Amino acid sequence: MNEVMKVLRLEHRGLGQLLGLLQNKLRRLEQGILPNFNLLDDVIRYIESYATLYHHPKEDVIYRYIIERQLDDKGQFFDIMQEHHTLAQNTHNLQEALDAILHDTIVSRDELITLLRRFIEAEIHHLNTEDTVVFPLIEELLADEDWVTITPLIPTQKDDPLFGKKVKEEYRDLYNRLLETAEE
């Protein structure tokens, strides 16, 4: 497997962990138990800053390459790139609601549940589609010489602030919470 694809799959695994944590918080919220809003904020800020700014742009380089070479017979790569915009909007909407809550503005529980559910469902669907359809198709369509062209075009990224070599201080609580849920 190509090194870029290994990194993308690893990032998906981390995003999957975060989505599992959010699903747990959503279930509790639906039961009337208020979540730790700071923790929710950390998760969404991480996804907004890392996935939106680093992860999706890397994928988009690959998807564009495939589209430009007219290898996207069914339009799957175009569609998944469009999903990146929808996901970014869902993330932004949820982040706005969390910002409001953290600044003591009233947001109804139903509204928060709706935003959180929409966010989680869209993210899970997206990751599953990429993992089961898009990524295998990439590995089928692209040869080593394609990766020689693609790899230098992949945006340079900072070390992952949550799942990378060193956890950034701002994500330390989130990291510890992920460790706790992994042990549960």
Instruction: Please determine, for residue 158, whether its predicted confidence score (pLDDT) is greater than 80.
Output: no
- Average pLDDT of the chain is 91
Q: Which amino acid is at 40?
A: L
**Per-residue model confidence (pLDDT) at position 10:** 92
pLDDT for res 172: 84
* Interatomic CA distance for residues 46 and 32, integer angstroms: 25
| Interval 136-161 mean pLDDT | 91
pLDDT over 80 at 36, yes or no = yes
Amino acid at 28: R
In this predicted structure, what is the pLDDT of residue 161? Answer: 83
- pLDDT number for residue 183: 53
91, 52 Cβ separation under 8 angstroms? yes
Rounded Cα distance, 32 and 26, in Å:
10
Is 156 in contact with 61 (CB distance < 8 Å)?
no
Phi, psi of 40 (to 5 degrees): -60, -45
Number of domains in the chain: 1
pLDDT at residue 159 in the model: 77
43 with 22: CB under 8 angstroms? yes
DSSP string, 88-153: HHHHHHHHHHHHHHHTT----HHHHHHHHHHHHHHHHHHHHHIIIIIHHHHHHH--HHHHHHHGGG
Residues 120-128 have a mean pLDDT of: 97
Give the global pTM: 0.90
Contact yes or no for 26/120 (Cβ under 8 A): yes
pLDDT of 4 > 70? The answer is yes
What is the domain range of residue 14?
3-183
Higher per-residue confidence, 148 vs 171: 148
Does pLDDT of 39 surpass 60? yes
CATH of the domain at 149: 1.20.120.520
Is residue 180's pLDDT more than 80? no
pLDDT at residue 128, rounded to an integer: 97
Cα–Cα dist 125/123, whole Å: 5
